[in-house]
Structure 1
Amino acid sequence: MNSEIPTQIPTPLGELSLRLSATPRGARLARRLTAQQLDAWGYPHDGEASDTAQHVVAELAPNAVTHGRVPGRDFGLRLLLLPEGTLRVEVSDARGDRGLRIVRETDAEGGRGLILVAVLARTWGVQERDVGKTVWAELPLG
């Protein structure tokens, strides 16, 4: 895991940036919108690249809603289609006072922690923001 977003991100070939309600419904919508955007970029819903991206978003968005929620604040989803077949997923929340830890085993509440993200992503990390944090992952698409 990298501890911060690299200072140089290549110029994206495509971008989707949204604010979604910090609710379970907003988290589910993030996953669906990820599939739709990848399809628009030429990676079909039933393809491996879309499936992987949806799994990562399905892990990060609920974490933002459950652990990063601040009443009255949304969470952010940003998808960047980078050169050389890479997708960058960024999920931002308003709570910066809680650090992330990699859970090596399934936690007591049944979650997978960030194990799935660590397995599926080429690289991933966390960056603090002025308000809150961004958890990001870069995924191979091809």
Structure 2
Amino acid sequence: MDPEPGARGRGETVVLRWAQGPRSVPMARRSPLDALESWGLDRVAESASLVRIEVHDASEVRPLMALPGDGAEGGWGLPLVEVLSEKWGVSDRCGPGKLVWAELRTDRGPEGASRVEAAARPDA
């Protein structure tokens, strides 16, 4: 489950890889903060207003936006990204596969919270 050895900062970019699974989530959340700290920019984390997240995979299949059916346990990824992000998209990448990206505002005020709450309501 540990990030790929030697995957720390490459210039201004941090590239880390984890196995798919819930134990990887806390590590992925902590990694941007660790990178900023290692660059001596830990104070930036407190004032950052936009974060870009990219997920690369080897599949050529493009994701399609669709709401899962009632009681579905899966299929909520893109609907959540749509609600929580400023913008998102899918791009080609070098080599096989695709890159799915999202830009999230960290300084979003009450209007951001209301978008999430509205999306969570069944009558929305």
TM range (shorter): 0.5 to 0.7
> Does the alignment pair 1:19 with 2:16?
yes
Unaligned residue ranges in structure 2 (runs of 5+): 1-10, 108-124
Count of matched residue positions in the alignment of Structure 1 and Structure 2: 90
Question: What does 1:47-126 align with in structure 2 at a 5 Å threshold?
Answer: 85-96=49-60, 98-105=61-68, 109-111=72-74, 112-126=76-90
Give the corresponding residue for 1:137. 102
Are 1:20 and 1:26, in contact at CA under 8 Å, matched by a contact in 2?
no
What amino acid maps onto 1:20 in structure 2? R
Structure 1 residues 113, 141: closer, same or farther in 2, change over 3 A? closer
Are 1:102 and 1:113, in contact at CA under 8 Å, matched by a contact in 2?
no
Unaligned residue ranges in structure 1 (runs of 5+): 1-13, 50-80
Are 2:14 and 2:35, in contact at CA under 8 Å, matched by a contact in 1?
no
Are 1:103 and 1:113, in contact at CA under 8 Å, matched by a contact in 2?
no
Give the corresponding residue for 2:119. none
CA distance, structure 1, for counterparts of residue 103 and residue 73 of structure 2: 25
Higher relative CO (CA 8 A, sep ≥ 6), structure 1 or 2?
1
The DSSP-based 3-state class of the residue aligned with 1:101 is coil
What amino acid maps onto 2:30 in structure 1? R
- Out of 17, 29, 32, the residue aligned to residue 30 of structure 2 is 32
CA distance, structure 2, for counterparts of residue 100 and residue 107 of structure 1: 20
Are 1:107 and 1:113, in contact at CA under 8 Å, matched by a contact in 2?
no
The DSSP-based 3-state class of the residue aligned with 1:127 is strand
CA distance, structure 1, for counterparts of residue 65 and residue 98 of structure 2: 16
Structure 1 stretches of 4+ with a deviation exceeding 6 A read: none
Structure 1 residues 41, 136: closer, same or farther in 2, change over 3 A? farther
CA distance, structure 1, for counterparts of residue 85 and residue 36 of structure 2: 16
